[in-house]
Amino acid sequence: MKWLSHIGKQASRMASMELFRYIGPGFFVTVGFIDPGNWVTNVAAGSQFGYQLLWVVTLSTIILIVVQHNAAHLGIVTGLCLSEAASKFFKPWLRILMLGSAMVACVATALAELLGGAIGLNMLTGLPIAVGAVLSAVFSAWMLFSKNYQRLEKWIMGFVSLIGIAFVFEIWLADVSWVQTAVGWVTPTFPPGALPVIMGVLGAVVMPHNIFLHSEVIQSRQWNAQGDDVIKKQLKYEFLDTLAGMGAGWAINSAMIIMAAAVFYKNGIVVNELPQVTITLEPIFGKASAVVFALGLLFAGLSSSVTAGMAGGSVFAGIFIEPFDINDPHSRIGVGITLLGALAGIMLLPDPFKGILWSQIALSLQLPLTIIPLILLTSSRKVMGEYTNRRLGASVLWIVGLIVIGLNIALLVDLAR
C-alpha cells in the first residue's frame, strides 16, 4: 500500500505545481489594493463614518472579482488585451470615448501613486511634495524603461504587503466592535455626506487601469495559441487566482477601515493627512511606526505608479492594436502621457490628501466606460467564439454595470446640490 500512498503524494505535488503555473496575474493586480489611493479612501471612510461603509468594500470586491475575471477571460481566449480588442472590434466613436477616458483614468491613478511616494519621501527626508513627486516619477520611469522593475517587484510587493498584513494583524489588538463590523460588511447605508467617500472607495478598489492591466498580463502569455485544452484549464485556474488575490485585497481594505474606525472615529478624530495614520501602527512598530509607514507609503507609491504607467502604455499601444512593449514607441508615449500628466496635476493641487481622494472618485466616474464595453466584447460570439459569456454570466455582468452606473448618477446628483 505504500506505493499507492507514494503515487498519491506525487499526484498531489504535480497538481500543486500545475496550479502554480497559472497563478500570478490576480496577485499582481492585488498590489493596487494597498496603494496610497486605497489608504486615503479607507482611512477617510473609517475616520468619518466608523464601520458604516464596510459594505462598500464587500460590494466593490464582488464587482472586482466579476470584472477582473471577465477581463482575464478576454485575454485568455483572444490573445488581446482590452485596449487592443476595443480598437479591433469597436466603432471609432466608442473606441475614442472608452480609451480616451481610460488614459485619463491612468493619469488620475498615477497622480495618487506619485503623491503617495512624495508624501513618504516628505515624511522621511522633509523634501517638498512637488520635488518628491518629480523624483518618484523619474524613478518609476527609469524602472519601466530600464526593465529593472522586474528585478525589484518581489521586494517591493513584499514590503508593501507587510504593511497590509500589519493592518490585518492589528485589528486583533485594537478595541474593535465586531458586531458593528459584521453589520457594516453586509448592510448598505448612506450617511449624510458619505457619497463622495463611497465612490472614492469604489474607485480605489475597482480601478479601471487594473482592468486593462489584468487583460494585458494575461494576454502576454498567449494561452490562446496553445489550443482549447490549455484555454479551458487556464480559465479554471485563473478564476481561483482572481478569487484568492481579490479576497486578500478585501481583507486588507477592510482592516484599514476597521482600524480607522477603532482608532480615529471612536475618538472623534477626522483624518485629513496621511501621516496621521502612523498612530494605527504604533501597537506593532512603536516609535518606529512613522518610519515604517513612510517607507511603506513610498514603496506603495513607487510600485503602483509603475503599474499605472504600464497600464497607460498598454491602453495607448492598444489604440494601434499592439501589445505593451516598452521598446515600442506607442507604449513609451503612453507611459510618458501617464506620468507627465500626473505630475502636471500634482503641481496644481492645493491639498495632497483631498487630491488623492478626488482622483479615486474620478476613477469611479470612468468605470462604466470600461465595464460596459468589456461586457459587450465578452458577450460577443464574433470576439469570443464558443467562449462567449453565457446568459447567466452576461446577466451578472450587466447587473454589476448598472450598479456602478446607478452609484455614479447618485454621486453626480449629490454634487450638483
Range from 4-8, 62-66, 85-89 carrying the lowest mean pLDDT:
4-8
Q: Between 279 and 211, whose confidence is greater?
A: 211
Span 35-60, average pLDDT = 93
Query: How far apart, in Å, are the Cα atoms of 175 and each of 184, 298, 326, 390?
Result: 16, 29, 48, 46
pLDDT above 90: residue 242: no
> Do 287 and 151 meet the contact criterion of CB atoms below 8 Å apart?
no
Range from 37-41, 120-124, 153-157, 390-394 carrying the lowest mean pLDDT:
153-157
In 90-148, which ranges are continuous DSSP H helix?
92-125, 129-146
pLDDT above 60: residue 317: yes
pLDDT of residue 256: 87
What average pLDDT is seen over the chain?
83
Residues 90-129 pLDDT 10s: 999 999 999 999 999 999 999 999 999 999 999 999 999 9
pLDDT above 80: residue 218: no
pLDDT of residue 277: 82
pLDDT above 60: residue 1: no
Q: What is the Cα 48 distance to its own chain's centre?
A: 23
Range from 3-17, 86-100, 110-124, 247-261 carrying the lowest mean pLDDT:
3-17
In our burial notation (b when 16+ CB lie closer than 10 A, e otherwise), range 278-303 reads bbbbbbebeeebbebbbbbbbbbbbb
In this structure, CATH architecture of domain 30-416: Up-down Bundle (1.20)
**Nearest-CA neighbor of 212 among 109, 143, 113, 139?**
109
| Model confidence band, residue 4 (pLDDT cutoffs 50, 70, 90) | very low
- Looking at residue 43, its amino acid is V
DSSP-assigned letter for residue 277: G
pLDDT above 60: residue 205: yes
pLDDT of residue 304: 84
| Model confidence band, residue 76 (pLDDT cutoffs 50, 70, 90) | confident
pLDDT of residue 18: 43
In our burial notation (b when 16+ CB lie closer than 10 A, e otherwise), range 49-71 reads bbbbbbbbbbbbbbbbbbbbbbb
Q: Between 269 and 337, whose confidence is greater?
A: 337
Span 33-49, average pLDDT = 87
pLDDT of residue 7: 35
Cell of 153: 517587484
pLDDT of residue 320: 93
Residue in the structure block whose three cell numbers are 498584513: 165
pLDDT above 60: residue 291: yes
Determine the length of the chain. Answer: 417
| Model confidence band, residue 229 (pLDDT cutoffs 50, 70, 90) | low
pLDDT of residue 171: 77
Residues 134-177 pLDDT 10s: 999 999 998 888 876 556 556 666 666 666 677 777 777 778 89
pLDDT above 50: residue 341: yes
Residues 20-30 pLDDT 10s: 344 445 555 66
